[in-house]
Structure 1
């Protein structure tokens, strides 16, 4: 009889035992007291990718030469740690997980969960030991995929074992978020490192953790390595690891949002202070209805009403956007472009008195709402002075025989209202550009102007280019006409000696 079918000496019921063991799903290897392999069922052979028990080896030592075993952390087993060696020594154990690889065929790789158990004969003496094997290769593969996904997941996460509430895994995202090293987290309990601290309903979350139930998302204050706290959203999902109930905690870092909210709050506080203290009349209103939500003291003074009579009413109802055509024009510009600049309006705010203003408006977001900030510049006195000046000019021009023609032309332009635009254009010129323009008005060429002002021709050309751009003229001829129409020719100072080192 072959060794695979012969009963071991001294065990009368081995045939019956073999019949029982041959049909079970678990792999079984029977080991004698002398560390010889007595028998193996077909399941055990299949789990080692062999066809007969003889291919497993005749002894434990030969099995070690044929198969290399490692723990799941890739640490190889020494001889005394081999499950067959342990069971042959009479040791009973359960749930040891090992990687098994054939020495002759590296492609043969299995993951076994094994347990050792002595078998006692009818007479009470231990004669045979049995190693029971379960192939968990598929489970190990999925576990490995989970390990890779868990480690690569950028979302911070930790895994807590429900049985003792200790952390058994932590991913790099969590370590980066908190500043801890892995050894500062692994093995600690939830009492030592509470990821649910500050949660809205912490007691309910702890109860769900103990009952291995899903923990819904909740905000919590997570302690970090530097001793400070970090605002997070934490959620718990029940999972199994190595057959044990665990809780997967995942986190969303809310600290950037908190910093933005804090910065926004500070910004709005500064805006509120600047708004209240500004000497410029300003009003904040809702973007959709232009209903006033806030006014400063200057705006209250402009409107001639206390703030509580302004807040809650619309700009149109209070006459703060002028007559209907002007109001529609300003509202259309704000709606189309989000802003309006220096729109000139006449406001009938006080009984029997009108106010001339320049209105500017800008859409802003305040406390999460779309608003419009409206600012007013009272130009009533300026308009009156302009009218008084025009009246004076008109009176003077009734007898202008003693004025020069250029001065008459200038006074006429003031009466027509052209002076403001021209003065702005003139103000944009530098003193030297004014000198160059005056000589261009006299009809001088660049070389003559350079001699007159003791400049280089290149410098004169540069000044001329700048003058054309500022006046909006297209060349020398138009600049000459511009200067002559405004009486600028012949107004330059006499030639001056050039300073040392200047062109």
Structure 2
């Protein structure tokens, strides 16, 4: 590779370069073909030298191929919605459309405002989310967020159609300005429905029952049967450990039972 300071001119026909003439700072003249693979060097007092030079590699594109990016996003099981900072919805993959019961992007809404007219959102088991506080609206205000659980239902319907676990990302350009907003959605409907069925069965069971979290042996659930049997209030149990509230105090193999629970092994009633 040769480096020089020069004045140059390009000669060619039909707007196509055939050769370039360069006058270098030491008054040597050089003629290079348009591909820059070879260079003929002419000396001031006659004679020619020919040498080979390397052509610089082509620069890599600065932005990704959006077509390929959309294809990759289209294969994801999570829903992905891309939003422009001005509130226009740029794209939604098939998973995101399915999580809203939509066939096309137009069904979802082409803007954040249109989306708000088609779908009503609530916090899980809580209050309605106003249109200016939805996940999309928060992204447009420059707010990112993690692990937001919302109930989604079509406008003017009473029961939620889906339960989403959502995450909001803000992608910025070189000037540190928002360039693209991304809403990532996980369909948590089945998981929460299964949890609700379990809660219903657990609370309706007349037999006294407690649930202990194995990581720290804290009580996380207690049913009405146990409260009636023990005479304790729910607040006296939930959040306390198996050592704070020792229900195994009179067990013959108390220490063994606790040791088994620590390594996630079931404790069963032995023979009398």
TM-score by length of 2: 0.65
Picking from 180, 202, 209, the partner of 2:254 is: 202
Q: Relative to structure 2, which stretch is displaced further, 87-96 or 37-46? A: 87-96
**CA 1:25–1:152: 2 relative to 1, 3 Å:** same
2:238, 2:254 → 1: CA distance?
A: 22
Match of 2:170 in 1: 118
Q: How far 1:16 moved relative to its partner?
A: 2.9
Match of 2:99 in 1: 47
| 1:487-498 equivalences in 2 (<5 Å) | none
Q: Secondary structure at the match of 2:268?
A: strand
Match of 1:14 in 2: 66
Counting matched residue pairs gives: 210
2:139, 2:201 → 1: CA distance?
A: 36
Q: Secondary structure at the match of 1:98?
A: strand
| 1:264-303 equivalences in 2 (<5 Å) | none
Q: Output one character per residue of 1:367-419: Cα deviation in whole Å (capped at 9) or x when no partner.
A: xxxxxxxxxxxxxxxxxxxxxxxxxxxxxxxxxxxxxxxxxxxxxxxxxxxxx
CA contact (8 A) 2:151 2:160 kept: no
1:136, 1:96 → 2: CA distance?
A: 11
Picking from 135, 138, 152, the partner of 1:100 is: 152
Q: How far 1:91 moved relative to its partner?
A: 4.2
Match of 2:51 in 1: none
Q: How far 1:80 moved relative to its partner?
A: 6.1
* Structure whose residues are more often helix by fraction: 1
CA contact (8 A) 1:68 1:103 kept: yes
Match of 1:56 in 2: 108
Unpaired segments of 5 or more residues in structure 1?
Answer: 1-9, 220-503
Greater relative contact order structure (CA < 8 Å, 6+ sep): 2
CA contact (8 A) 1:49 1:108 kept: no
Match of 1:184 in 2: 236
Instruction: Specify the structure having the higher radius of gyration (Cα).
Output: 1
Q: How far 1:146 moved relative to its partner?
A: 1.0
Q: Secondary structure at the match of 1:215?
A: coil
2:75, 2:258 → 1: CA distance?
A: 46
1:112, 1:119 → 2: CA distance?
A: 22
| 1:316-465 equivalences in 2 (<5 Å) | none
2:199, 2:110 → 1: CA distance?
A: 37
**CA 1:36–1:142: 2 relative to 1, 3 Å:** same
Match of 2:269 in 1: 217
CA contact (8 A) 1:114 1:132 kept: yes
Q: Output one character per residue of 1:32-56: Cα deviation in whole Å (capped at 9) or x when no partner.
A: 3234322111111111011112222
Q: How far 1:130 moved relative to its partner?
A: 1.6
Q: Relative to structure 2, which stretch is displaced further, 195-204 or 45-54? A: 195-204
Q: How far 1:66 moved relative to its partner?
A: 2.2
**CA 1:13–1:109: 2 relative to 1, 3 Å:** same
1:84, 1:94 → 2: CA distance?
A: 13
Match of 1:37 in 2: 89
Q: Secondary structure at the match of 1:216?
A: coil
Match of 1:167 in 2: 219
| 1:459-498 equivalences in 2 (<5 Å) | none
**CA 1:126–1:139: 2 relative to 1, 3 Å:** same
Q: How far 1:125 moved relative to its partner?
A: 5.6
**CA 1:161–1:73: 2 relative to 1, 3 Å:** farther
Is 1:144 the counterpart of 2:196 in the alignment? Answer: yes
1:142, 1:190 → 2: CA distance?
A: 27
Picking from 129, 133, 139, the partner of 2:181 is: 129
**CA 1:68–1:211: 2 relative to 1, 3 Å:** farther
Q: Secondary structure at the match of 2:265?
A: coil
Q: Secondary structure at the match of 1:159?
A: strand
Q: Relative to structure 2, which stretch is displaced further, 17-26 or 88-97? A: 88-97
Match of 2:123 in 1: 71
Match of 1:109 in 2: 161
Match of 2:135 in 1: 83
Q: Output one character per residue of 1:140-199: Cα deviation in whole Å (capped at 9) or x when no partner.
A: 222221111111100111222233433222211111111122222222333322333333
